Amino acid sequence: MRRIESRLNTHSEEFQKYRAHNRKLVSGFQQKQEEARFKRPQRDIDRLQKQNKMMPRERLELLLDPGTPFLEFSSLAGSMAYDGSAPSASCITGIGIVGGREVVINASDSSVKGGAWYPLSVKKIIRALDIAIENHLPVIHMCDSAGGFLPLQSELFGDKYMAGRIFRNQTQLSKMGCKQLSLVFGNCTAGGAYIPALSDYSVIVEGTGAVFLGGPPLVKAATGEEVSVDELGGARMHTSVSGTCDYFAKNEREAIAIGREIVAQWEQKPKTQIQRETPEDPWYDPEELYGIIPDDIRKPFDVREVIARLVDGSRFSEYQPDYGETMICGFANIWGYKVGILGNNGVLFNDSSLKAAHFMELCNQNKTPLVFLQNITGFMVGKEYEQRGITKDGAKMIMVQACSEVPKFTIMTNGSFGAGNYGMCGRAFDARTLFSWPNSQISVMGSDQAANTLVTIKLAQLKRQGIEPDEKELAEIRNEVLGNFENQTSAYYTSSEIWDDGIIDPVDTRNALGISISASLNAPIGDARYGVLRL
């Protein structure tokens, strides 16, 4: 493959301006992430110390193989919900290495409301288990939860993708042969009791670990029986009487050591083989990404400059370089793995949509994973383009993308608006992982477009009523729409609601993709079968 010839002037005023802007964005993101991970009221820290419990991330560090990476999901989940009372949605999830094996980790954060599940906690756990199912990965549950947050029970219990889906996903993993281990550090109450009960292996800590459908207060209220926590669901009882748990541990360190021993016995199945070469660092410095991404979502940039700072040796074999030029397609390697990359260089026209569809077919034919770099305003609109079949051609792109069997990975590099989000493998289309950059935005249309559209509609309504438009009223409508869009299109809102798998520093994109691709190869790659393409 030929190396991309970068045309970036790193000494230009524009580059320096963009770099300063994006470094500030990244610094703000890193501060928010640090607070979500570690900032806790002293009373909660003292409570865990009094119970002889470690902080959740201390447990995680002991569990993971030393010196190995941990790809955390949704570190800012819940950051714009619940008045900030549930940082990281009160749990930690991600992909890590334990005993040389790639595993999904689901860890309760008992420093937040005793690890209680908020609605977004449930959503985050389900997403982690979905990732395990899609990639055929084993799961380690680090249990220490007070159960569902009762004031919000109506938002986390009854529906298909609420708490019951956690246990449904556990059963599907077991059916698939994907092993699960529960390390019970604290309470597993009510529905939460089924996490260790549905796991293949479980270790429970003396004195603090407990598993029961109803705690002592509920038992007394329901039956009149008075019973202690240890008698009802403690470590000795469950490992010697009920058989609900397998291994007794005197403390948390011993529980983690036993857990690592268990994982070391698990078979390691061969991964799916795809084309791979010796990994090579990008020729161009990834930190230059800060100077590529503009300081305004409406300003364009060449996605080739981004690709050059993500892929091995900055080498890229571009497909149909002179056709459909607003869609950049081509082959490259990331950490040695061959991938097909699709990146936006403008709005999607008929030719760029067809080019993308054909390229994805080639990747499926060749078992080559797909990477989508989203910066898209949508498909082109207007009389001329509708007559040429833009809706039909856009549907072809969506059909091929949605029916692809190769693993797909998406990075929100800038804007993601309208149906372009669908064609470029947005959240609804089963990317194995989807990460956002701090500058990115997502919505049904751009904020200016939305504001102008709603003002036009309001203007027509007033005229139909025979009312002369009030310019002040129209300006207020426009400003209100713009304010809402700025809040609800931001990467922070996206990540708070778990519309992505987390915000990442652009410089970390290559590593996040490398871990994601490696993990995806634990699952087989089938042959793509497409639906009806309207020709």
HEC string of 242-293? HCCCCEEECCHHHHHHHHHHHHHCCCCCCCCCCCECCCCCCCCCHHHHHHCC
pLDDT at residue 102, as a whole number = 98
pLDDT at residue 453, as a whole number = 77
128 membership: H or E segment, kind and range = helix 119-135
Helix, strand, coil percent values for the chain (each to nearest 5):
45, 20, 35
Confidence check: pLDDT of 209 > 90: yes
Each residue's pLDDT tens digit, 254-270: 999 999 999 999 999 99
pLDDT at residue 462, as a whole number = 73
Residue 190 lies in a domain: yes
- Averaged pLDDT score across all residues of the chain: 95
Q: What is the mean pLDDT of residues 434-454?
A: 84
226 vs 220: CA distance, rounded Å: 6
Q: What is the mean pLDDT of residues 301-317?
A: 98
pLDDT at residue 168, as a whole number = 97
Q: Two tokens at 423? A: 């064609």
Q: Quote the pTM value.
A: 0.94
- Give yes or no for a contact between 106 and 97, defined as CB atoms under 8 angstroms apart: no
Same domain (yes/no): 185, 301: no
pLDDT at residue 483, as a whole number = 75
Q: What is the CATH number of the domain that holds 323?
A: 3.90.226.10
- Give yes or no for a contact between 97 and 64, defined as CB atoms under 8 angstroms apart: yes
Q: Which residues pair with 325 in a beta bridge?
A: none
Residue 425 lies in a domain: yes
Same domain (yes/no): 175, 210: yes
Return left, alpha or beta for 279; rule: phi > 0 is left, psi -120 to 50 is alpha, else beta. Answer: beta
Same domain (yes/no): 156, 303: no
Residue 358 lies in a domain: yes
Give, rounded to a whole angstrom, the gap between the first and last alpha carbons of the chain: 34
pLDDT at residue 310, as a whole number = 98
177 vs 274: CA distance, rounded Å: 23
Q: Which domain holds residue 204?
A: 41-264
Taking alpha carbons only, the member of 473, 475, 418 closest to residue 441 is: 418
Each residue's pLDDT tens digit, 490-521: 999 999 999 999 999 999 999 999 999 999 99
pLDDT at residue 476, as a whole number = 78
Phi/psi of residue 55, nearest 5 degrees: -70, 150
DSSP 490: B
Residue 10 lies in a domain: no
Residue 413 lies in a domain: yes
pLDDT at residue 530, as a whole number = 93
- Give yes or no for a contact between 176 and 136, defined as CB atoms under 8 angstroms apart: yes
Same domain (yes/no): 230, 313: no
> Between helices 447-464 and 471-488, what is the axis angle to 10°?
150
Same domain (yes/no): 402, 370: yes
Residue 451 lies in a domain: no
pLDDT at residue 479, as a whole number = 81
Q: What's the structural domain count of the chain?
A: 2
Residue 459 lies in a domain: no
pLDDT at residue 17, as a whole number = 98
In this prediction, what percent of the chain has a pLDDT beyond 90? 87
Query: How many alpha carbons lie under 13 Å from residue 409 in its C-beta half-sphere?
Result: 23
Q: What is the mean pLDDT of residues 221-231?
A: 93
The larger pLDDT score, comparing residue 314 to residue 470, is at: 314
Each residue's pLDDT tens digit, 370-389: 999 999 999 999 999 999 99
- Give yes or no for a contact between 496 and 76, defined as CB atoms under 8 angstroms apart: yes
Same domain (yes/no): 114, 245: yes
Residue at which a domain ends, from 196, 229, 264: 264
- Give yes or no for a contact between 145 and 530, defined as CB atoms under 8 angstroms apart: no
Same domain (yes/no): 184, 299: no
Same domain (yes/no): 74, 130: yes
Residue 279 lies in a domain: no
Same domain (yes/no): 63, 196: yes
pLDDT at residue 490, as a whole number = 92
349 vs 393: CA distance, rounded Å: 9
Same domain (yes/no): 364, 497: yes
86 CB-near residues (< 8 Å, 6+ apart): 78, 112, 113, 118, 120, 121
Same domain (yes/no): 202, 296: no
Same domain (yes/no): 226, 330: no
Residue at which a domain ends, from 232, 264, 296: 264
